[in-house]
Each structure stands twice: as structure tokens, then as C-alpha cells.
Amino acid sequence: PQSSHTAKTIRGKSLCILNTQRENMKLILVLLFMAPLGLSADYFSADSAGSPETKSRFAMLDDVRILANGLLQLGHGLKDFVHKTKGQMNDIFQKLYIFDRSFYELSLQTSEIKEEEEQLRQTTARLQINNEEIKNLSQEMNLKIEDLIQNKIQLQEKVWGLEDKVTKLAIIQPLMQETKEISSLKAFVEQQDNNIKQLLKIVEDQHLQLNRQHNQIMELEDKLNHIEFQELTENSFTEEQPEPETNPIPVLKATAGRYRSDGAAPDCTALYHSGERFSGVYTIKPNGSEAFDVYCEMKFGTSWTVIQKRVDGSLDFNQTWDAYTKGFGDLNEEFWLGLNKTYSITTQGDYILRIELQDWRGNKRHIEYLFSLGGPDTNYTLQLSRISGSIPNALPEQTELQFSTADRDVDTKHDSNCPENFLGGWWHSECEETNLNGKYVTPRSRVRPDRRKGLYWKPKKGRYYLLKSTKIMIHPMDLKSFD
């Protein structure tokens, strides 16, 4: 409204100047028209009087000259006035142009303000809806709190009633005969209690014996299963590999899983054969490598070398290439052993890769592969062949999988960076597949992208198995290790 009033004011001033110029032009025309009339009247009056003394002809010429001078000065004045008027008009036009431009910019800003106002109105509406939801939740919580208060009051009343009863019982003194009966009953109860304790001890001893027998049976079953799976695997590899030069049958190396004469154990299986029977952190020294610490898990009548363990999400597995190469974490909690250390172990012979998984419902599954791991020059290429398992396979077999991290994506088959998009270093064949080094996500997470970046097991045409804990272990593929 203020800009519109200014425009009207400027236009009004310009119209006043134009009207003034028009009036001045009319005055000039009137003067030019009346000047000849005055001269002719003086001329004729002089002739009719016939007296050269009153006014001569030269006096008339002087008057004409004076009048011409006046008209000339008036013309110069009008010329100056016209120039000034033109300048003022140019200034007015310039101001009008600036005003039009400012008015256009102001209209653009007004449009933007209207759009922002509409967005603000929509945001306000959403906030009002959220406020209503919060209000409803608050009312529900208030109702629940009131119920809890009522329950608390009822419990307090019951407690007070019990205290009154106890007080009354303490006041009443029992008779002597009643006291004797109570003493005899107390002695009888104590004797029965001792008998029950003896029976419980006998039951506990029997329970421990049953547990030992059960563990021995489980170990024997696992040994039998491993032997059967090994025989099946060897037969299937023989039938499925017509070209031994491209996919050779694994040849066991005598150094794997053996306690060396120099006193240094090459892996956890060798430590088991040397007499160690408890799971924990031990120092090993594979052939051609420096000594380093590993976690050994004693199970199935032997010992496995653990290369990865996740239990609670306390460790961030979104690490760099160097970290995955050297290893990180605490061997007694969550950790990644390191690609260099794992490679130094597997160069001693042929190993089995065992993956143990547990979901959020407490269900435990496992899968085992015969595998080979390349060195740093191959980006630690992994190649798998399934042996056994209680869960569908989710890793491509007979495929060379290169290890990748967010800062070193060696996968050239896909445009996107799988480790950067789905977090954690892993042997990726394609994105959105199994990733046991992904982000630790609980089932309560409602954000779909977080669940897809989480710790899960996903067969190629199956569903996501969101995991609570994982463990990756290796063991030499030597049946004598299971004896």
C-alpha cells in the first residue's frame, strides 16, 4: 500500500509539470498574437493625429525593438524552462523505472513469502496433529499412573493389615504346653529340612552326571556329523570338479593344526592337542609369521580359532581398511582378528570356516564352508564351498569375493559403494546382501534404512534374519583334529 501511494504521488507531480508547461505555451502564443495588434494600433493612431511631435516613426521602431528584445528574452527563458522541464521529466521517468523495478522485486518477494507462509501453515497443521497424539498418549499415561497409584494404595492397606496381625500375634503369649508342642514341631521340621537338603544334593550330583553324559553324547554326535559331512564333501568335490587345474581338490597340509617341535603353536587346535582345555585368549605363532594373541574356543572335542565375534553392539565395526587389516576390538568381548592374521593362519593348510548366528528370539543356527583366503595382493579374496549348516546359504559359492571397506571399495561391478552405503567391511558380491560386520540394530528400530544396514543374514531369495550375535571361527580341515 505504501509503494502504491508513492507511485500515485510521483505520477501526480509529473501531471502538474505538464499542465504548467501547457499554460506557459498558451501565454507565449497570446503575447505573440497581441504584439502585432499593438504595433498596428500605435501606427494608425499616429497617422490620424497627424502630429509628428507627439510620436515619431523612429519611436515606433524603438518600441518594436524593445518588444523584440522582450520576446527574445522570453524565448530564452522558455527554452531554459523547457530544458529544465525535460531534465525534471527524465528524473521522473528514471524514478518511475526504479520504482517499477522495485515493485517487481517486491512482488517476487511477496510470492516467496506466500509460499513460505503456506509451508509454515502445513507444518503447523502437522504439529497440531502430533500435539493431539501426544495429548492422547499423555492422557493414557495419566490413566495408567492413576491405576498404579490405586494398586499401591491397596497394597499399602494390605501391608498395614498384615502388620496389625503380626503385632497381635506378638502380644499373645503361648502357654507352656503349646510351647513344648511348638519346639517338637520345630525339631521335626529341621530334621525334614536336613533330609530334603540331602536329597537335593543327591539330585544335583545325578544332574551333574547327566549333564556330563549329555555333553559327551553331544560331542560324539558332532564328531560323527563332521565325519559324515567331510566324507560327503570329498565325494561331491570329486564329482563336481572335472577340471582339477582350475578347481583343484583340497590337499591337506601336515603343518595345519599341529603342535610344532619348537614349542610355538600354529593355531588353537594345536594348543588343544598340547593339553589346553579352557576357552580364552592364547598366543600362537603361525609359520612365517610373528606371534600374536587369539581367542580359542574349546568345543566339539577340539579348539577353534575365532576371527570375529559380536554380542551386544558395544564396538563400532564401521572401520577403515587399515583397521580391518590389522584387527580391532577386545578379544574377550567384541572384536575382529584382522585379515593379515587370519591369512597367516590359513596359509598353513586347508581350513573350515564356521559361522554361528543367534537371532533376537534366542534361536541359534550355524553354517560351515570349506574356504580359501587370498593375500593382500588379491584384496583378501574369499572363495567358499558349503559343507553343512542349519540355515539357508546366503554367501555365493565358487565365486571370488574381494574384501571392501568404505575408504577402499575394490568392487568394480557396481556403481554404488556397498561398504559406504551399508556400513562395515565385508566380502560383498552385491549390495543389500548378507553383512555380518554391519551396523548393530535392535528389532525396536522402526527406521527401515537402519534395518537394511544392520547385522543380518539374507539368502538370495529369502528374508532378512536380523541377528543379535555372530561368531566366525576357523579350524583345520583335518579329521584327526576331531579325535
Q: Is the pLDDT of residue 245 over 60?
A: no
Output the pLDDT for position 321.
Answer: 95
For 27-70, write each residue's pLDDT tens digit: 666 665 565 555 444 544 444 445 555 556 677 788 888 888 88
The answer to whether residue 14 sits within a structural domain is no
Q: Is the pLDDT of residue 319 over 70?
A: yes
Claim to verify: residue 336 and residue 463 sit in the same structural domain: yes
Domain count, the chain: 2
pLDDT cut 90: percent of the chain above it: 25
Output the pLDDT for position 317.
Answer: 93
The answer to whether residue 290 sits within a structural domain is yes
The answer to whether residue 344 sits within a structural domain is yes
Output the pLDDT for position 448.
Answer: 52
Q: How many CA atoms lie within 13 A of 159 on its CB side?
A: 6
Determine contact, residues 308/336, Cβ cutoff 8 Å. Answer: yes
- d(CA 194, CA 200) in angstroms, rounded, equals 10
Claim to verify: residue 151 and residue 298 sit in the same structural domain: no
Exposure string of 366-386, with b = 16+ CB inside 10 Å and e = fewer, is: ebbbbbbbbeeeebbbbbbbb
> Which of 5-19, 186-200, 385-399 is predicted most confidently?
385-399
Beta partners for residue 293, in sequence order? 283
Q: Looking at residue 353, which CATH number applies to its domain?
A: 3.90.215.10
- Tell me the pLDDT of the chain averaged across its residues: 77
Claim to verify: residue 152 and residue 300 sit in the same structural domain: no
The answer to whether residue 148 sits within a structural domain is yes
Claim to verify: residue 272 and residue 127 sit in the same structural domain: no
Residues making up the chain, counted from first to last? 483
Query: What is the full DSSP assignment across 401-442?
Result: B-EEBTTB----S-SS-HHHHH-S-EE-SSTTS-BTTSB---
Q: Is the pLDDT of residue 21 over 80?
A: no
- d(CA 16, CA 4) in angstroms, rounded, equals 19
Helix axes 57-171, 2-49, angle to 10 degrees: 170
Of 159, 179, 195, which residue constitutes the final position of a domain?
159
Claim to verify: residue 321 and residue 457 sit in the same structural domain: yes
Determine contact, residues 369/347, Cβ cutoff 8 Å. Answer: no
Query: What is the full DSSP assignment across 31-79?
Result: HHHHHHHHHHHHHHHHHHHT-TTT--HHHHHHHHHHHHHHHHHHHHHHH
The answer to whether residue 206 sits within a structural domain is no
Q: Where are the alpha helices (DSSP H) in 52-175?
A: 57-171
- d(CA 342, CA 473) in angstroms, rounded, equals 10
Of 124, 159, 194, which residue constitutes the final position of a domain?
159
- Parent domain of 395: 268-412+421-476
Closest listed residue to residue 420, CA positions, set 407, 433, 434: 407
Q: Which residue has the higher pLDDT, 454 or 158?
A: 158
Of 133, 159, 185, which residue constitutes the final position of a domain?
159
List Cα–Cα distances, 83 to 15, 22, 86, 218, in angstroms. Answer: 17, 14, 5, 115
The answer to whether residue 63 sits within a structural domain is no
235 grid coordinates:
565325494
Q: Is the pLDDT of residue 247 over 80?
A: no
The answer to whether residue 382 sits within a structural domain is yes
The answer to whether residue 455 sits within a structural domain is yes
Place of cell 524603438: 62
Q: Is the pLDDT of residue 280 over 50?
A: yes
- d(CA 304, CA 268) in angstroms, rounded, equals 6
Claim to verify: residue 128 and residue 274 sit in the same structural domain: no
456 grid coordinates:
543380518
18 grid coordinates:
505538464
For 422-434, write each residue's pLDDT tens digit: 678 899 876 656 7
For 340-364, write each residue's pLDDT tens digit: 999 999 999 999 999 999 998 889 9
Residues whose CB is less than 8 angstroms from the CB of residue 323 and which lie 6 or more positions away in sequence, other chains included: 336
3-state helix, strand and coil shares in percent for the chain, rounded to the nearest 5: 55, 15, 30
For 215-236, write each residue's pLDDT tens digit: 677 666 556 655 544 443 343 3
Q: Is the pLDDT of residue 365 over 70?
A: yes
List Cα–Cα distances, 372 to 245, 313, 397, 440, 477, in angstroms. Answer: 16, 28, 11, 27, 12
How large is the average pLDDT for residues 5-30?
64
For 144-187, write each residue's pLDDT tens digit: 888 888 887 878 778 777 877 777 776 665 555 666 777 788 78
